[in-house]
Amino acid sequence: MSKTDLTRRGLLKTGAVAGAGVALPTIFTAQSAAAFTNEPTGGSVTLGFNVPQTGPYADEGADELRAYELAVEHLNGGGDGGMMNTFSSKALQGNGILGKKVEYVTGDTQTKADAARASAKSMIEKDGAIMITGGSSSGVAVAVQALCQEAGVIFMAGLTHSNDTTGKDRKANGFRHFFNSYMSGAALAPVLANAYGTDRKAYHLTADYNWGYTTEEAVKASTEAMGWETVAAVKTPLTQTDFSSYIAPVLQSGADTLVLNHYGGNMVNSLTNAVQFGLRDKQVNGKDFQIIVPLYSRLMAKGAGANVKGIFGSTNWHWSLQDEGSKAFVKSFGTKYGFPPSQAAHTTYVQALLYADAVERAGSFNPCAVVEALEGFEFDGMGNGPTLYRAEDHQCFKDVLVVKGKENPDSEFDLLEIVEVTPVDQVTYAPDHPQMGGAEASLGSCNPGA
């Protein structure tokens, strides 16, 4: 006859065994063995390319993805090596990163913070990505940067021009190679003073969202510093496609200069409207009326067509630059895809290489080691001349280009001409500059996760 009575001792024993059994699997999990999030263990390392593939910035996203694929090819030793040959740091060998073959996963940010974070999270949680890069909007960049900080991976920002990314929303795990609104303003002001004089009345039309605000603030501050007067600053809805009702009051205001703090489709439409209204043929206060577009991109210039002729703006990089790095990049990009790269492609390509190089120099994929390797890192040969990754805010400081719509373009890619390469000293600011979140903004400390 079998007894099934439970004794106290028996129960304790069973409980202990069952408890150990439940706890056992935790010992063998990947988490407990790793020193940081997604430590690459095999012969390969995964990078996450999170770009807008649908939505308003899909064109930029597609170009970014091309650049990333090119970067991976070069890192793995394929192709002609591109900027790896001109890069001042020689740590990269063309054998992947730290001998591990570079693999990548892609995602679609849809230019929405939620979708971008979901996509980045899946790269981190599912695909084991060690670094996330990309994006084509400041809202997305700030959101994904915060996510990477929490998760303990590195974020190399793509196209994001708002001051906040490395200003008040800066994070220790996040880095930006692209320039920002402040730099646009600082670079433009002297050129504008030369071309149009120091006695002008400016009228701002500003896209009603965060990037518009920081750009308006930056351009206002730098033009007022050289003597310009700001007559009015009007916010326009982001969804606006016809700006004629905003253009009409400009002429009555007594302003002789119009600043369009617009980007993408907004800028294409507002500039077209302004030109159609004949603003550029007008004379106000005895001066020719002028229009300025603080942030230019080739894709926008293409959209605005002949209307951009002679209009000043700033840009991070342009394919007609004649330094060795730019030439090498344009050559390998052009060979592979048949057309020159955009500034979005350039900045993301450089970011991918800079990350890989930082890992090589640090000798580890640990985010904190990478942060240390990138902070205060000076390099050259990636276009834009000598560049510094500043330690205080993880912003790259380099020459900024002031460009002008070309009067007689040779091809559909040759729409902008470089007017001046503004030296880096002119666009440098203090890390606690009021436009950058003031003294309160801080990077926090690096987070390796796990």
Partner 1 sequence: MLGLEKKDFRLLMIVVVLTMLAPFILNPFPAESALGETFNAGYPDLMQRFVIFGIFAIGFNILFGLTGYLSFGHAAFLGVGSYAAIWMMKLVTLNVIPAIIMGVIFAGIFALAVGYISLRRSGIYFSILTLAFAQMSYALAYSVLTPITGGETGLQIKSTDRPMLSNLEPGEIGRANLFGMDMRTSFELGVGDWLFTFNSGYYIAAFFMLISFYLAIRIFRSPFGTMLRAVKSNQTRMYYTGLNARPYTLAAFVISGMYAGLAGGLLVAMDTQAGPERMFWTASGEVVLMTILGGVGTLIGPVLGAGAIKYMENILSKINKDILHEWFAILPDGIEDFLVTIIYPFVGKGWHLTLGLIFMAVVIFLPGGLVEGGQRIARLFGRKKAKGDGEEATQSTPAE
C-alpha span between 398 and 393 (Å, rounded): 14
Per the structure block, which two tokens stand in for 15?
């409980």
Which residue from 148, 147, 137, 183 is spatially nearest to 316, judged by alpha carbons? 183
127 versus 392: smaller Cβ distance to partner 1:
127
176 versus 200: smaller Cβ distance to partner 1:
176
Amino acid type, 84: M
| Least distance (Å) between residue 173 CB and partner 1 | 12
The interface mask with partner 1, positions 255-274, x = CB under 8 A, is --------------------
The interface mask with partner 1, positions 53-82, x = CB under 8 A, is xx---x------------------------
Taking the CA atoms of residue 363, residue 367, residue 370 and residue 376 in that order, the dihedral angle to the nearest 10 degrees is -150
Among 86, 89, 162, 273, binds partner 1 (CB under 8 A): 162
70 versus 192: smaller Cβ distance to partner 1:
70
159 versus 424: smaller Cβ distance to partner 1:
159
Among 40, 96, 134, 139, binds partner 1 (CB under 8 A): 139
| 3-state secondary structure at position 410 | coil
Which residue from 323, 274, 279, 321 is spatially nearest to 298, judged by alpha carbons? 321
DSSP 38: T
Which residue from 364, 353, 422 is spatially nearest to 389, judged by alpha carbons? 353
Which residue from 51, 73, 74, 72 is spatially nearest to 63, judged by alpha carbons? 51
C-alpha span between 31 and 39 (Å, rounded): 9
364 binds partner 1 (CB under 8 A): no
362 binds partner 1 (CB under 8 A): no
139 versus 381: smaller Cβ distance to partner 1:
139
| Least distance (Å) between residue 255 CB and partner 1 | 23
Considering only 189-197, 255-263, 329-337, 442-450, which stretch makes contact with partner 1 by CB under 8 A? 442-450
Per the structure block, which two tokens stand in for 138?
């400041």
C-alpha span between 133 and 351 (Å, rounded): 8
Which of the residues 6 through 25 are near partner 1 (CB under 8 A)?
Answer: 25
Q: Distance between terminal CA atoms of the chain?
A: 53
Contacts of 15 (CB under 8 A, 6+ apart): none
Which of the residues 296 through 335 are near partner 1 (CB under 8 A)?
Answer: none
234 binds partner 1 (CB under 8 A): no
210 binds partner 1 (CB under 8 A): yes
C-alpha span between 447 and 33 (Å, rounded): 17
C-alpha span between 450 and 432 (Å, rounded): 31
237 binds partner 1 (CB under 8 A): yes
Residue 292, φ and ψ in degrees, nearest 5: -130, 140
| 3-state secondary structure at position 205 | strand
Among 146, 232, 234, 418, binds partner 1 (CB under 8 A): 146
The interface mask with partner 1, positions 102-131, x = CB under 8 A, is --xxxxx---xxxx-xxx-xx--xxx----
Among 98, 101, 150, 385, binds partner 1 (CB under 8 A): 150
Residues that bind partner 1 (CB under 8 A): 25-26, 28-31, 53-54, 58, 104-108, 112-115, 117-119, 121-122, 125-127, 137-139, 142-143, 146-147, 149-150, 162, 164, 169, 208-211, 213, 235, 237-238, 440, 442, 444-445
